[in-house]
Amino acid sequence: MKPKGWIIVALAAGLSAGASTCALASSRVLDLQSALELRRTEVSGAQERLSPVREAALRDIGQALGARIGFAERSREIIALLDQRAGDLDERFDFGRLVIGNNVLPPVISESRDAVTIEANTMRVAGIIYRIDEPARFALPTPTWRNWLYLGLDPTPAKAPDLVGSLPATPQEQAYWQQMVRQGYEMGRQQAQETFELNMALLKRTHDGMRRYYDLWARGVVSAPVVASAHSIVRHEDESTIAVGDTLLRITAPATFTKPDNWRPLDAALQE
């Protein structure tokens, strides 16, 4: 479940009117309204119905253009909202507090409750299952929530198609074009929203999993990763390069679950 206040709803976008009715250069930035009004300058007479070839061309280009506009627009909205809440996010997802030492991020441990496994003649019920999903790793610089929540979002504005011949040229084509652009626009906004929600879920899973490691480590349920270091005054990279004061850090033993004999209640662990 997402934290209260983090369900981001779609914002009503101000659509500018008065887009040019002539063929637009590919360098022109588009919003939804200007994309809907795109058409060729040389408009031909009316026709009863679209040919399958023209319909397919208008559909592919119109949906792709609308999706690009919608994705970029929703990306800008999401990024703006994230920037407004940057202070809260810095506090909520502070990975700097989780670093073990020598820039080592702890492992990510997931938790499943009341897990049931059924086979032909057996059924197994586990109260809690812990799993190390990601091992401890070096990270420099220490990551922030931005490494997750900005991933995949693209606020770059869409531009007009390069091929003028792909634009609608009759009232029937214009109506169909607008329908396809709107469909693509909604799909693009939805894709950006789903990208953000997936990023948020992954961020929460990673951060909560690292915090869970510390809870289990305090109870003796999981061991700490072992980091070994080797120092050398001078190391020869090759005939033309040397490294002075070289230090090599390596995780020589990953975090693993311990035997139950070593476990202790959390209250006792906190008093030590």
Q: Hey, CA dihedral for 253, 259, 260, 263, is it positive or negative?
A: negative
Q: pLDDT tens digits, residue range 162-193?
A: 766 778 888 888 999 999 999 999 999 999 99
Q: pLDDT tens digits, residue range 206-218?
A: 999 999 999 999 9
Host H or E run for residue 108: strand 108-118
Residue 3 has pLDDT above 70, yes or no: no
Considering the entire predicted model, what is its pTM?
Answer: 0.78
Listed in sequence order, the DSSP H helices in the chain are 32-36, 52-84, 86-92, 146-149, 171-218, 266-271
Residue 195 has pLDDT above 50, yes or no: yes
Across 39-43, 47-51, 203-207, 217-221, least confident range: 39-43
Q: pLDDT tens digits, residue range 90-144?
A: 999 999 999 998 899 999 999 988 778 788 788 777 788 899 999 999 999 999 9
Residue 16 has pLDDT above 70, yes or no: no
C-alpha distances out from residue 198 to 37, 128, 142, 169, 205, Å: 34, 25, 21, 40, 11
Share of the chain above pLDDT 90, in %: 52
Q: Is the peptide bond before 141 cis (omega within 30 degrees of 0)?
A: yes
CB–CB of 164/35 below 8 Å? no
Residue 239 has pLDDT above 80, yes or no: no
Q: What is the pLDDT of residue 88?
A: 97
Residue 71 pLDDT grade (very low, low, confident, very high; cuts 50, 70, 90): very high
Supply the mean pLDDT for the chain.
Answer: 82
Residue 19 has pLDDT above 70, yes or no: no
